[in-house]
Amino acid sequence: MHRDHRPPRFQRVSALDKSELEDLVHLISQRAGRCLERLGLLEQDAQSAWLELKPADDADTMPHLLLTSVSYGIAGSTPSIVEVRFWQRTVLNGEIYVLGGSVNDDSSIIGGPPLRVYFNDVWKSKDGRSWQLLTHAAPWAKRAGAELVTKGEYLYMLGGEQGFLCQPEPDCELPYFNDVWRSKDGIVWELVTASANWSARPGHQCGVIRNRFVCFGGFGLPENPVDVWVSEHGAEWQLLSSPPWNAQSGEEIKYDFDIIVTESDAFTSGPAIYTFGGDRETFDFDDPLNYLLVDNDVWRFTNPGL
């Protein structure tokens, strides 16, 4: 987009190669963090920063930072929560719970440094500002991409991953989980099942309808799982006959989407699960259209038979 005296307009440019894209992502994330820091919305954790400074090539007063692994926390919040990571989160008894997750996710695909780091800590908060650490190390394996949901008086954690890929494919064992754990307080955890009937996966979602879990979606190799599973207690699971999103193949299955559960609304007389957006990208970096496989559609799931 031109920024001189001419009217602003966008101009098509040639596609960036992988190295240029990596540099661009580093630069954008660094500048966004610094901007939010100047606005007072984020605070930088200097002890966790790992930076390599280079002089700027242009007149920009902000230096270009490479190998950026800067940890930030919300300004004014408990300083011990500093990582910007993909948490799993839910609400139980009016308190917010977050757990697990990872940082430096791109490193698991394109290599590091910095290396990807996984967590199995658990935190809770009544207001989202002051946080209490419940445990540094829960009994379940460190992971990201799990699903955390509330059912009755329990927190339930289901599945997840400790890496996206394995070698050599397709004969290697993917670092995915399909275990189910539950806890009343985030401190004491009980293993419900070490291996649920559904295939191990990250990026899935689980809603609760009529006191039953309904789990679907997620990432898989060689293709995403085309299935919907239900369970009353999380130990034994039943496969439904209809696939999610009426999908005909794994190419139509989403991961990293969001859901809400409604008891009833203007469109249904009973409970429903609404899904929002999602990702269908693969790790085929030779596909020039792969980046387009990100959705912004909305679907509604109902099953009166549950």
The domain spanning residue 289 has which CATH number? 2.120.10.80
Contacts of 165 (CB under 8 A, 6+ apart): 108, 109, 174, 221, 283
Q: Looking at the 3D structure of the chain, how many domains does it have?
A: 2
* Pair 59, 100 in one domain: no
Between 12 and 198, the more confident residue is: 198
pLDDT at 204: 97
Mean pLDDT of 37-47: 57
Q: What is the pLDDT of residues 214-250, one digit of tens each?
A: 999 999 998 999 999 999 999 999 999 999 999 999 9
pLDDT tens digit string along 279-294? 999 988 889 999 999 9
Q: Among 78, 99, 123, where does a domain finish?
A: 78
Both 19 and 41 in one domain: the answer is yes
Does 255 have pLDDT greater than 90? yes
The average pLDDT across 265-289 equals: 90
Of the three residues 78, 101, 126, the one that is the final residue of a domain is: 78
Task: Identify whether 38 is part of a domain.
Answer: yes
Residues 177 and 286 in one domain: yes
Q: For the chain, what is the largest distance between any 2 Cα atoms, rounded to a whole number of angstroms? A: 66
Calculate what percentage of the chain has a pLDDT beyond 70: 73
Q: Which residues of 32-54 are buried (b: 16+ CB within 10 A; e: fewer)?
A: ebbebeeeeebbbbeeeeeeeee
Enter the pTM of the model: 0.73
Please check whether residues 278 and 233 belong to one and the same domain: yes
Share of the chain above pLDDT 90, in %: 56
Higher pLDDT pick, 272 / 43: 272
Structure confidence at residue 110 (pLDDT): 75
Q: Is residue 233 part of a domain?
A: yes
The mean-pLDDT minimum among 3-7, 198-202, 227-231 falls in 3-7
Identify whether residues 63 and 170 lie together within a single domain. no
Model confidence at 52: pLDDT above 50: no
Domain boundary among 34, 63, 78: 78
pLDDT tens per residue, range 56-103: 444 443 333 333 344 455 545 444 555 667 789 999 999 999 999 999
Average pLDDT over residues 263-268: 82
What Å distances lie between residue 152 and 91, 208, 210, CA to CA? 11, 10, 11
Owning domain of residue 112: 79-301
Question: Tokens in use for 221?
Answer: 């190799």
143 lies in the same domain as 263: yes
Q: Tokens 């901007």 — which residue?
A: 35
Q: Do 43 and 92 reside in the same domain of the chain?
A: no
> Is residue 207 included in any domain, yes or no?
yes
Asked if 41 and 119 sit in the same domain, the reply is no
